[in-house]
Amino acid sequence: MTRKYFGTDGIRGKVGTFPITPDFMLKLGWAAGKVLAGCDGGKVLIGKDTRISGYMFESALEAGLSSAGLDICLTGPMPTPAIAYLTRTMHAKAGIVISASHNPYYDNGIKFFSAEGTKLPDDVEMAIEAEMDKEMVCNESASLGKAVRIKDAEGRYIEFCKSSIPYATSLNGLKIVVDCAHGAAYWVAPSVLRELGAKVITLGVQPDGMNINVEAGSTKPSNLQDAVKKEKADLGIALDGDADRVIMVDANGELVDGDELLYIIARDRQAEGVLNGGVVGTLMTNLGLEHALTNAGIPFGRASVGDRYVMEMLQNKGWILGGESSGHIICLDRTTTGDGTISALQIVSAMVKQGKSLRELLDGVSKYPQTLINVKMAEQRINVVDQPPVKTAVADAEAELNGSGRVLLRPSGTEPLIRVMVEGKDGKQVQSVAEGLADIVKQAVS
């Protein structure tokens, strides 16, 4: 069935432009409440990142849910994965996160979690969309929902994060720079690391509602790289605005992306005898990771781009570890969704346990040169990939690589972009092929 509102990662767009408007969020809260309430009502958690529009949408969703008879638990600014965890442990009907992740402050969006702390099933999303087409009818006063604020949400989540690594693990002696992107983890992520014993230097921990992701976090790691070198730190950790993604920086200031982090966690789990299967990546995962895992005797599978598709393949295969190059890593033996803080802790724990630096843990994996060019589109859903000139250009690019690399074109699931990705053994050739292909795509969307 065609979706009207939900994309691969919830509902997202520019604030003030449909559907990211207060009236839509009011009705969305009501529609979700009608689908989720059943016969016994129940409660829904609402969390948010640090965008200024979060206050407005929080109030609108609260009113809509209350009108449908559901109680509301408000957490305030909290990482997206924290809402997944709290939804499950507080036995709520669902969790809602108001966030546009790594997007600029003037965007916002909505993500839903099920009672189990996972993304909502497709049939529930479709039921909510169907309810949106109906007239909104408020419950009688006696059956309206109530709202409360959860005062200890941060502490609950901090303890959960710490429990994701062995109890005896101490980070004493480690100096860590953490960049929270002025986002949802600005307080909890540094607190987790400090409570485990690390000396923590913070960046991106002064949110003002409009500086989320601005020259900070996992999408803009240059300040973190500089800080790690200046502070002579052992490593750096960069989260995105809602803290479900992480990339890291080694002691030399060099980036360690999601593919490399997946390799470290997989090898560590393998050494412990608890990997239980293989690793799921995506169509964008670097060939170098696939080859390194294969050499280590670890199976590898590619899912469509998007954490929900990684999750689907993990569940279908019965595996526990998967993720994306962007740093959205899923450790199902630790939690139910991608969690930047918990993923970072798995890496730091491996460093402590093995007595190795972050760079030393990467022994055995070497990434192929990869070029990614984002081509802006005038419309979100224009079909570019199947246009004849583009298909011909892709075939020509693949012929030029002659089996020594890959070409991938795909529309972004969250932004009006076509992503042009080329990788192969020869870096100069990869760059040239990618630029030529991107030029053809630009002509097609202009």
**Going by C-beta distance under 8 Å and a sequence separation of 6 or more, which residues neighbour residue 276?**
269, 318, 319, 320, 333
CA distances from 397 to 160, 197, 319, 329, 420 (A): 47, 51, 34, 30, 11
- Separation of alpha carbons 95 and 115, rounded Å: 7
Burial class (CB in 10 A: 0-12, 13-18, 19+), 39: exposed
The encoded tokens of residue 377 equal 């589109």
Per-residue pLDDT tens digits for 315-340: 999 999 999 999 999 999 999 999 99
The four Cα atoms 250, 309, 380, 415 give a dihedral, to 10 degrees, of -20
Mean pLDDT (the chain) is 95
- CA 358 to mean position of chain CA atoms: 22
Bigger pLDDT: 385 or 348? Answer: 348
Which band of pLDDT confidence, cut at 50, 70 and 90, is reported for residue 428?
very high
101 assigned to active site? yes
The encoded tokens of residue 144 equal 């309206």
pLDDT surpassing 90 at residue 9: no
Mean pLDDT throughout 408-414?
81
Element (H, E) at 54: helix 53-67
| DSSP conformation class of 109 | E
Mean pLDDT throughout 417-435?
93
Taking only Cα atoms into account, the Rg of the chain, rounded to an integer number of angstroms, comes to: 22
Q: Within 13 Å of residue 67, how many CA atoms lie on the same side as its CB?
A: 18
- Separation of alpha carbons 206 and 199, rounded Å: 19
pTM for the complete prediction? 0.90
| DSSP conformation class of 10 | B
In DSSP notation, 216-240 reads -STT-THHHHHHHHHHT-SEEEEE-
Per-residue pLDDT tens digits for 114-165: 999 999 988 999 999 999 999 999 999 999 999 999 999 999 999 999 999 9
- Separation of alpha carbons 368 and 229, rounded Å: 26
- Residue 20 pLDDT: 98
Domains and CATH numbers, the chain: 11-151 (3.40.120.10), 157-237+246-252 (3.40.120.10), 370-445 (3.30.310.50)
- Residue 386 pLDDT: 86
- Residue 377 pLDDT: 86
- The catalytically annotated residue of 53, 66, 67, 101 is 101
Share of the chain above pLDDT 70, in %: 98
pLDDT surpassing 60 at residue 262: yes
- Separation of alpha carbons 25 and 16, rounded Å: 11
- Residue 410 pLDDT: 86
Provide the 3-class DSSP secondary structure of residue 377. Answer: coil
- The type of residue at 250 is D
Q: The sheet that has 71-77: what strands, in order across it?
A: 11-14, 107-113, 94-98, 43-48, 71-77, 147-149
Mean pLDDT throughout 44-61?
98
pLDDT surpassing 90 at residue 358: yes
- Residue 306 pLDDT: 86
pLDDT surpassing 80 at residue 73: yes
Which band of pLDDT confidence, cut at 50, 70 and 90, is reported for residue 39?
low
- Asked whether the beta carbons of 418 and 386 are under 8 A apart, the reply is no
Per-residue pLDDT tens digits for 173-227: 999 999 999 999 999 999 999 999 999 999 999 999 999 999 999 999 999 999 9
pLDDT surpassing 60 at residue 12: yes
- H and E: helices and strands count for the chain: 13, 18
Per-residue pLDDT tens digits for 212-238: 999 999 999 999 999 999 999 999 999
Which band of pLDDT confidence, cut at 50, 70 and 90, is reported for residue 349?
very high
The encoded tokens of residue 76 equal 């305030």
- Residue 379 pLDDT: 61
pLDDT surpassing 90 at residue 363: yes
